[in-house]
Structure 1
Amino acid sequence: MEASPVTDMKISSVVPASMTGENKPRHLTAMDLAVKLHYVRAVYFFKGTRDFTIVDLKNITFPLLDLPCYDHVTGRIRLLGNKNPSAQAIPYIRCNDSGMRIVEAKVEGFTVQEWLDLDDRSIDHRFLVYDHVLGPDLLYSPLVYLQITHFKCGGLSVGLSWAHVLGDVVSASTFMKTMGQLMSTRGPSKPVYPKKPELTPHANGQVDDDGQAISIKKVESVGEYWLLSNKCKMGRFNIKFSLEQIDRLMAKYQSSSEVDILYALIWSSILNIRGEKDTNVITICDRKTSSTCWNDDLVISVVERKDEMTEVSELAGLIANERKEENGVIKGMIEKDRGYSDFITYGANLTFVNLDMCDELEIKGEKPDFVNYTIHGVGDKGVVLVFPKGKFARAVSVVMPEEELAKLKIEVNNMIM
C-alpha cells in the first residue's frame, strides 16, 4: 500500500487537568541519552461497536496527564549549558511545557477486520501512528502523539508515538494501561498507578568509568534533529509462530526458554544471511520488574558468539548463560562524554527486545483485538521484538534492511518446517 488511506486528520493539544509548575526540570539520565534517537510506536485495534467513544478517549487524557508520574510526558526538551565549551548543551525535559497531541483521522476504505487481513503489518505504523520525531525544531517538539483513527463500520485504532527518552516499551504500554484504568474506574476502588521514579545520580547499578560498551554505538552528531540517518532503507515485517510450531521448537530444544529459542532462531537465520563478521554480537533489552516510567529500569546485555557456533541450540545456550550486562559501562561512557556525542542502542548490534512484561490495555472490560509494537529510528543491524504469547500464536516483529527481509522469511521458514 503506497498511498495513504487516512483522511480528515485533525490535531489538537491536551494538557493536565490542573495547573502545575511549568519550569520543573526532569534531568535526563545516561540511559535516557543512550536511547534518545529512538521512538516507541504502538497501534491498538478495536473492532465494531464499543462501550466507549473517541470523546471518552480524549477526555480521559486530561486526568491521565494530571498524575505525578506523567508530568514529564507533557514537557519539551530544553538545553542546559555545558561546562565544556566545545561540547553540546546537555538536554533535559521541562515538565508541563507543551501538552500531548491528539490526532483524529479516518480510514473509510476498510473495516478493522479488512485492514488486519492485509499481510503487510508495516502499514499499521506507517499510517495509523503519527510520524513524529523530536526536531528539527527540538525546543517546540511534543514528546507524545496519540492518533485515534475511525474505520468503516465503527471500528477504531489508537496509535501511540512515544519518544523513548521518556521510557522504554514497557513504560509506553503502562501509560496506555493507565489510560484504560482511568476510563474503566467506577465507584470507590482506585487503580494502581505507576510510581514516580526517584532520580538518583547512579540509579540501577554502579557506574563503570573505564569500560567501553559494545551494546551502544556512537553516531554522527544529529544536532537538534533527533533521528538516525540509516545507510540503507529499513523495512518491517511480522512473523507468526503458531502454538504448534512453538511446541515443536520447545520439544526440540528442551533445555532453553521459549524466548531464548526464538532469539537464537532469528540470530542463526541472520548469521546465514550476513555471515559471521557482522553478527557475532547481539544486544538483549530486558527490564527490571518495576512500575516506574523511565529508562533506568532497562537492562541492556550483550552476548558474543564463540568459535563457529551457528546452531540454534548452541546460540540459545549462549543467550541463557553468557549474557553480560552493560548498564554500568554505558553510564560511565555517556557521563564521561558530557553530552558531546550521540549514541544509538537499537540496531547498534542485532538487538532483541522481550515484550512479555508489556501491560495489556483494557478499556471498560474490552481488550484490543490486535496490538502491534515497533521501534522507530533503528540502526542498520536491526531489531527484533518478541511479543507475548497469544491464544493462537506468538508474533515476532523485525526491523532490518529491506533487502534482507525476503531472505529472512525463507531462512525462518526452513528452520521451523
Structure 2
Amino acid sequence: MVSSFEHTLIKNIKLSSIGPSNATGTDVTHQPTSMDLTMKLHYIFGVYIFRSQAVLGLSVKHIKESMFFWLNEYYVTCGRFRRTEAGRPYLKCNDCGIRFVEAQCDKSVDEWLEMRDCSLDRLLVYHQPIGPEMSFSPTVYIQITWFKCGGMSLGISWAHILGDIFSVCDFMNKWNPFMTISEASTLPNSTKLPSPITVTPKSQISSQLSNSEDPLSIKRVNSVGDHWITPNNCKMDSFSFHLTPTQISLLQSKISGTIPIFESLCAIIWKCVAQIRDGSGPNKVTICKKDPHNWKLSGQLSNSQIISCAEANFPIKDANLEKLAAILVKEGKDERGAIEEAMERENGVGDFIVYGANLTFVNMEEADVYGLELKADFVSFGIQGVGDEGCVVVIPEAKDFDKDVQKLGRFVTITLPEDEMAKLKPELKKNDFLLETNFE
C-alpha cells in the first residue's frame, strides 16, 4: 500500500507514448527464444539520479526528440505481444511505442538521497505488468522526474522477456549519441527500414529433449494466462544499502582473501537468511551473472546471462562461510540448456519463475551501469516479480576509473517476504553489513 507520505513525493504525472521516427514496416515480428519466454513474469527496474549540473539545459522536448531516433535502433521494444494459434507469445513490431512518463518531486536530489530509503526509488519508476490485454501493454516504461533543485531521475521498467539486466544497460548506453547532440533538428535519420536488432541466438537445447525433470533453478507456477505477474504466496519487501570498500574488506576477512567480493557477500547473506528461517535451509541457491563468452553483439537484446544452481548438503545456518563461498564459486551448474528444454516441452506456453524460485543472487559487477554520458550520481537496479524464496542484487558503486571494480563499494538490494525482512535486518547488522546510518 502506498502511504500518504509517498503520495506527496511524486506529483503532476503525465503519460504519453514514443515510438521510432521511421516506420518499421508491415508484418514485422520478433519471436522470443525459449529463455526469453521463461523470463516473462519478471521485470527489471533501473533508476538513474542526476544532479542539476549534469542535466543543465536539458528539456523534456529534447529528451523525447532524441528518443524517436534512438528507438529506430530498438524498435522491437516498441511492439506489443500477441499469441500464435498454438498460444506461443510473439512480439508484433507495430511501432506502438514505449510509455513515456513525466513527473515532479518537491524534494531536492540531496534530500531524496538523504532519506536513505531506496524502497522509495520505486516511485521514480512507472510500472504496469504486461496484460491482461497483451496487445495494449507496453514492454518498456521510462519515467523522467524533475526534482526541485533542477536535478532529474530517469527510471526504467523493462519486461525481462526482451533481455537480461546486461541488455538493459546496453540499451540505455546506446542512447548516448542521440542525447549528446545539442539540437534535436540535427539528429541523424534514415530512410532505410531498420533490420532486426534482436536475433534468435544459437540454441543450447540438445537435439533430443530427453530429460523430463525441470532444472533446479526454475519453478513452475500455475498458469497466469495473459496477465504476466508472479503469483506470490506472501507480500514481498525490498531493502537496499551501501557497503563501503572498508566494510567489504571487513566482511571478506570473515571468509578468505582469495574469495571474490560477490561470492563473499552472498555467502554471508545466504547464512543470514538461513538463520531467520525455520530449519536449515535454503540449501539451494541460484546465481545469475554475465557470460564472459557471450555470443551477443553490441546492440542486440538477449537473455544470455548465465543461470546456475548451487546446492549444499549440510545445514546452512551453522555452515563455515568459506565453505559456502567455495560452493558459490566452484559448484554452480549452468542450467540454461535445461531451462530452454523445459520451456520447449511446454511448447513455449509454460509459466515459470527464475528469480525467487530459489534464493537468487544477481551479480551486476560486469554491467556498465554508469555508461550514460549524462553522468549519474546514483544508479540502482532491482527485479520485480521475485518469487517467495527471495533475490539479492549486487551492483558496484559509481566507477572511479583509477580503481579496479574489485576496489569499489557495492549497493545491495534484497527482496524477501515482508515478515522475513523485519528479521533479516538485525541479522545483517550483527554480521557487520549494516551501519547505524543505513539501518532502520
TM-score, length of structure 1 as denominator length:
0.90
Distance 2:284 2:305 in 1: 19
1:338-395 CA-to-partner distances (Å, cap 9, x unmatched) read 13421111101001111112223455x5411111111001101111000114467311
Aligned to 1:124: 121
- Residue 203 in structure 1 maps to residue 200 in structure 2: no
Aligned to 1:105: 103
Aligned to 1:184: 180
Q: Partner of 1:416: helix, strand, or coil?
A: coil
Amino acid of the structure 2 residue aligned with 1:299 = I
Aligned to 1:406: 422
Contact 1:166–1:293 (CA<8 Å) still a contact in 2? no
Structure 1 segments of 4+ aligned residues over 6 angstroms from their partners: none
Amino acid of the structure 2 residue aligned with 1:233 = K
Contact 2:396–2:409 (CA<8 Å) still a contact in 1? no
Q: Partner of 2:360: helix, strand, or coil?
A: strand
Q: Partner of 2:66: helix, strand, or coil?
A: helix
Q: Partner of 1:153: helix, strand, or coil?
A: coil
Q: How does 1:51-90 map to 2 (within 5 A)?
A: 51=56, 52-67=58-73, 70-82=74-86, 89-90=87-88
| TM-aligned CA distance change 1:197 to 1:205, over 3 Å | farther
Q: How does 1:214-229 map to 2 (within 5 A)?
A: 214-229=216-231
Contact 2:162–2:303 (CA<8 Å) still a contact in 1? no
Distance 1:294 1:277 in 2: 39
Aligned to 1:262: 265
User: How far off its partner does 1:259 sit?
Assistant: 0.7
- Residue 9 in structure 1 maps to residue 25 in structure 2: no
Q: Which one is further off, 89-98 or 36-45? A: 89-98
1:89-111 CA-to-partner distances (Å, cap 9, x unmatched) read 11001113421111111112x11
Distance 1:206 1:401 in 2: 37
User: How far off its partner does 1:131 sit?
Assistant: 2.1
User: How far off its partner does 1:416 sit?
Assistant: 2.5
Q: How does 1:283-294 map to 2 (within 5 A)?
A: 283-288=286-291, 289=294, 290=296, 291=298, 293-294=300-301
Contact 2:266–2:361 (CA<8 Å) still a contact in 1? yes
| TM-aligned CA distance change 1:378 to 1:100, over 3 Å | same
Aligned to 2:344: 335
1:8-62 CA-to-partner distances (Å, cap 9, x unmatched) read 1111111111121142111111101111000001111111242433322211111
Amino acid of the structure 1 residue aligned with 2:88 = I
Equivalenced residues, count: 401
| TM-aligned CA distance change 1:361 to 1:13, over 3 Å | farther
Amino acid of the structure 2 residue aligned with 1:80 = T
Distance 1:341 1:204 in 2: 18
Amino acid of the structure 2 residue aligned with 1:203 = S
Q: How does 1:33-48 map to 2 (within 5 A)?
A: 33-48=37-52
Distance 1:285 1:276 in 2: 25
Q: Partner of 1:131: helix, strand, or coil?
A: coil
Distance 1:181 1:278 in 2: 48
Distance 1:76 1:209 in 2: 34
Q: Partner of 1:154: helix, strand, or coil?
A: coil
Q: Which one is further off, 161-170 or 42-51? A: 42-51
Aligned to 1:85: none
Distance 1:406 1:156 in 2: 32
Q: Partner of 1:412: helix, strand, or coil?
A: helix
Amino acid of the structure 1 residue aligned with 2:229 = L
Aligned to 1:163: 159
Match of 1:115 among 112, 116, 135: 112
| TM-aligned CA distance change 1:403 to 1:181, over 3 Å | farther
User: How far off its partner does 1:295 sit?
Assistant: 3.5
Contact 2:364–2:393 (CA<8 Å) still a contact in 1? yes
Distance 2:26 2:223 in 1: 29
Q: Partner of 1:228: helix, strand, or coil?
A: coil
Q: Partner of 1:279: helix, strand, or coil?
A: coil
Contact 1:209–1:329 (CA<8 Å) still a contact in 2? no
Distance 1:94 1:42 in 2: 25
Contact 2:31–2:90 (CA<8 Å) still a contact in 1? yes
Distance 2:238 2:3 in 1: 15
1:232-272 CA-to-partner distances (Å, cap 9, x unmatched) read 11101112222111122334411211111011111111111
Contact 2:239–2:414 (CA<8 Å) still a contact in 1? yes
Distance 1:283 1:45 in 2: 30
Structure 1 alignment gaps of length 5 or more: 83-88
Match of 1:281 among 263, 268, 284: 284
Contact 2:32–2:200 (CA<8 Å) still a contact in 1? no
| TM-aligned CA distance change 1:292 to 1:212, over 3 Å | farther
Amino acid of the structure 2 residue aligned with 1:64 = W
| TM-aligned CA distance change 1:90 to 1:277, over 3 Å | farther
Structure 2 alignment gaps of length 5 or more: 189-195, 401-407, 434-440
Aligned to 1:240: 242
Match of 2:135 among 139, 142, 148: 139
User: How far off its partner does 1:176 sit?
Assistant: 1.1
Contact 2:281–2:315 (CA<8 Å) still a contact in 1? no
